[in-house]
């Protein structure tokens, strides 16, 4: 049966002389592979450039086999900062890369789809560093790993004193229980409350958080280890993403 759906372009490569095979993250069907036959011929059905990270409307034919035939593609949002701002494009391409590498094919997840869309939308006006850790915390929460940020993982007590985080156990530990996790490390109260705030609040409210730079670094470092340990993803860009010298050069050009 023929289907119409929205989807982000995750990856693409040329196929034979005139076609493209692309990995797409769609709203209804999750991650799929699609073939765009005759993409490089003057075909009016393909008005999109299919650039990585863009949101498109597609018409395709879901089949049991691996690669679906896509007969129509129209760009809905091309996120101009992808071409104009190096730091923001690094954040956006990290969202895309994580979806491409860690989502299972045909695993439909409307909440993750909305997260990608909201994150790309808000990245236009919010700081790239903040949007990256918001995306990561929410993605880990929605993808089933759900790190625990509100109480001790082992004794379930709310925190009175020092707080620890264990990457291998997947959440916070109190001073007594941290002895059960060799990798437990102390984190600040600001970091633990920021993690919990981000996990529990939706867009646009989640963007109202303004942690200190030290807290942001701690959050980022912790997420870096968490992704590597649980999702074998070790391709986060260096923090902070921005570089004022490069930004100036891009704007000047």
Residues that bind Zn ion (CB under 5 A): 152, 154-155, 174, 177
CB of 170 to Zn ion, least distance (A): 14
CB nearer to Zn ion: give 3 or 176: 176
CA–CA dist 151, 196 (Å, integer) = 10
CB nearer to Zn ion: give 187 or 206: 187
CB of 168 to Zn ion, least distance (A): 16
CB of 199 to Zn ion, least distance (A): 19
CB of 219 to Zn ion, least distance (A): 22
CB nearer to Zn ion: give 175 or 230: 175
CB nearer to Zn ion: give 110 or 155: 155
Q: Dump the DSSP string for the chain.
A: --EEEEEEEEEEEEETTTEEEEEEEETTTEEEEEEETTTTS--TTB-S---TT-EEEEEEE--SSSEEEEEEEEEEE--THHHH-HHHHHHHHHHHHHHHHHSPBT---HHHHHHHHHHHHHHTTS-HHHHHHHHHHHHHHHTT---B-SS-TTT-PPPSS-EEEETTTTEEE-TTGGGG-TT-EEE-HHHHHHHHHHHH--TTGGGG----HHHHHHHHHHHHHHHHHHH----PPPSS---HHHHHHHHH-
CB nearer to Zn ion: give 71 or 148: 148
As given in the structure block, the two tokens for residue 102 are: 């860690």
CB of 179 to Zn ion, least distance (A): 10
CA–CA dist 155, 186 (Å, integer) = 17
CB nearer to Zn ion: give 76 or 155: 155
CB of 182 to Zn ion, least distance (A): 16
């Amino acid at each position: 049966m023929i289907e119409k759906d929205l989807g982000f372009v995750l990856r693409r490569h040329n196929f034979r002389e005139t076609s493209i095979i692309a990995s797409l993250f769609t709203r209804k069907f999750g991650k799929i592979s699609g073939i765009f036959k005759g993409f490089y011929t003057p075909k009016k059905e393909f008005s999109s450039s299919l650039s990585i990270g863009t949101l498109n409307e597609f018409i395709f034919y879901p089949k049991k086999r691996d690669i679906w035939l896509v007969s129509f593609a129209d760009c809905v949002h091309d996120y101009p900062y992808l071409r104009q701002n190096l730091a923001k494009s690094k954040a956006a391409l990290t969202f895309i890369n994580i979806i491409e590498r860690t989502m299972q094919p045909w695993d439909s997840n409307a909440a993750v789809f909305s997260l990608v869309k909201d994150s790309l939308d808000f990245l236009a006006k919010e700081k790239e560093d903040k949007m990256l850790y918001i995306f990561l915390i929410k993605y880990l929460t929605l993808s089933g790993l759900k790190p625990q940020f509100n109480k001790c993982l082992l004794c379930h007590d709310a925190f009175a004193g020092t707080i620890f985080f264990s990457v291998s156990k997947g959440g916070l530990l109190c001073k007594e229980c941290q002895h059960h996790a060799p990798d437990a490390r102390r984190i600040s109260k600001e970091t633990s409350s920021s993690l919990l705030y981000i996990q529990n609040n939706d867009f646009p409210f989640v963007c109202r958080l303004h942690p200190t730079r030290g807290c942001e670094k701690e959050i980022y470092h912790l997420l870096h280890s968490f992704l590597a340990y649980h999702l074998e993803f070790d391709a986060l860009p260096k923090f902070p993403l921005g570089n004022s010298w490069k930004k100036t050069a891009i704007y000047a050009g």
